[in-house]
Copies of this chain bind each other. A is one copy, B any other.
C-alpha cells in the first residue's frame, strides 16, 4: 500500500512552524506496516492545493492530510477536497450538533465561521473530533482514499489513532493482525555506531523492521513486527530486543521508552531510597529531569544548584581548603558536594556535578566539556570524571546530566562503575 502525507498551511510552508505532524503520521503508518513514499507541504492557496490533491490521487492508495480545517478564511481544505473530487460541500448534522455542544459546554455562542466547519464534501465520511471544533473527513479522489485531519497535534493524534488507522487497516483487507513494537534506549554511543552494531537484526529476525531514533542525548532502537500470532510475535520481539541489548552492552538503559531520570527514579523507589542532588555545571537540569516524572516527590528530596563557590561552602559544607587546593571542577570537590547534600537533605544518596559547560571557562587541564561527578550513599562513595567533545552549552549540560543519573542507576543495579 503506497501512502503519502500532505501538510497544508502558510506557517509550515514559510518555516514559521516546524512540521512535526508528518513525522508522527509517518511513524504511526510505518508501525502498522504501511510504507510512506512521499511527504508534501503546500500553503493556503486553492489552486496549488487542488493540484496537489489530484497529483496524490493519481499516485497513492492512501493519503493523510493535516491542517486547513479551522474557521477562518485561510482554511481551504474542505473546499479544496470538494473541488478535487468534483462535488459540493454539504452540512454534516452530527458534526454541527457537536460543534454547538462544544460552545454550549463552555458557555459561549457558536459563530457563523464555526458553523462552516460542519460542512464536508458530499459523499465524504465525517471523522468526529472529541477534542476541538474541527471535524475531519475521508473522501476518495482518483484512486486514493484521503483522510483530512486538523493540524492541532493532540486533535490529530486522537483522530489518527482511534478512527483513521482502523479504517486504513480495513481498506488493506488484512486479517486482524497485531502491530508490535519494542524499544531499546541507549546512551553514550553515536547514532552511526548504534546503527552499525544493530544493523544485522533484520537478517537474524527477518520479520522485524528496524528504526533508529536520535532523541539527543539518547538513541532509541525501535523494532517493529506485524504478525497474526500475537504470542509468537511477542517472543520474537523479546528475543530480538535481547540481541540488540547484547550488541549495545552497558549503553542500554531502558526497554520501556523511559527517560534516564524515570529509570533511575523507578530504581530508587524499588530500593525505598531517597535522593538529593548538588548541581554546579548542570545548573538545575538534573532536578528538572527528575521532577518531570509524576510522583518523583516519593524519592527526590532536594537539589542545591550551587553556582557560586560561597554557596558550595555555606549550603553544602564543602571545605574552603578543598576549593582553594583543587578548584571547583575536581573529583574531590564533587565528592564533598555529594556528601554535603546527602547530609543536608537526609537522603539515602547524594549526587553532585561540577564542570565546565562552556563556551568560556575551559583550560588545558580542564577543557570545556569536562564534568566531575560524585555519588555518596550507604557504603558507597564514587567519583567519575568525563570529558565530552560538544561545543554547545546546552548539549554539554544534557550529556553531563545523563552521565550523572547513569552513575547512580548503574550503582543501584549493582553494576560496578566503569
Residues in A lying within 8 Å of B, measured CB to CB: 7, 11-20, 22-30, 36-43, 48, 52, 211-214, 222, 276-277, 279, 283-288, 290-292, 294-297, 300-308, 310-311, 314-315, 344-346, 357-360, 393-394, 397
Contacts of A305 in B (CB 8 A): 277, 284, 287, 291, 302-305
| Chain B proximity of A148: nearest CB distance (Å) | 19
Contacts of A315 in B (CB 8 A): 302, 304, 315, 344-345
Determine the distance from Cα of A20 to Cα of B14 in the docked complex, in whole angstroms.
12
Nearest opposing residue in chain B for A393, CB measure: B294
* Pairwise interchain contact B30-A15, C-beta atoms closer than 8 A: yes
**Copies per complex of this chain:** 2
Contacts of A41 in B (CB 8 A): 22, 38-40
Contacts of A287 in B (CB 8 A): 279, 283-284, 287-288, 305
| Chain B proximity of A244: nearest CB distance (Å) | 15
* Pairwise interchain contact B17-A23, C-beta atoms closer than 8 A: yes
* Pairwise interchain contact B294-A290, C-beta atoms closer than 8 A: no
A12-B39, A294-B358 known, 10 other contacts, Cβ within 8 Å: A11-B212, A15-B36, A283-B292, A284-B291, A291-B357, A292-B394, A301-B310, A302-B315, A311-B345, A314-B344
Determine the distance from Cα of A36 to Cα of B345 in the docked complex, in whole angstroms.
56
Which of B14, B301, B358 sits near A307, CB closer than 8 Å? B301
| Chain B proximity of A338: nearest CB distance (Å) | 16
Closest 8 CB pairs of A and B: A283-B291, A284-B287, A15-B26, A284-B284, A15-B27, A39-B41, A303-B305, A15-B23
Known contacts A48-B38, A310-B346; is-contact A16 B213 (Cβ 8 Å) = yes
Contacts of A40 in B (CB 8 A): 38-41
| Chain B proximity of A5: nearest CB distance (Å) | 8
Contacts of A39 in B (CB 8 A): 7, 12-13, 19, 39-41
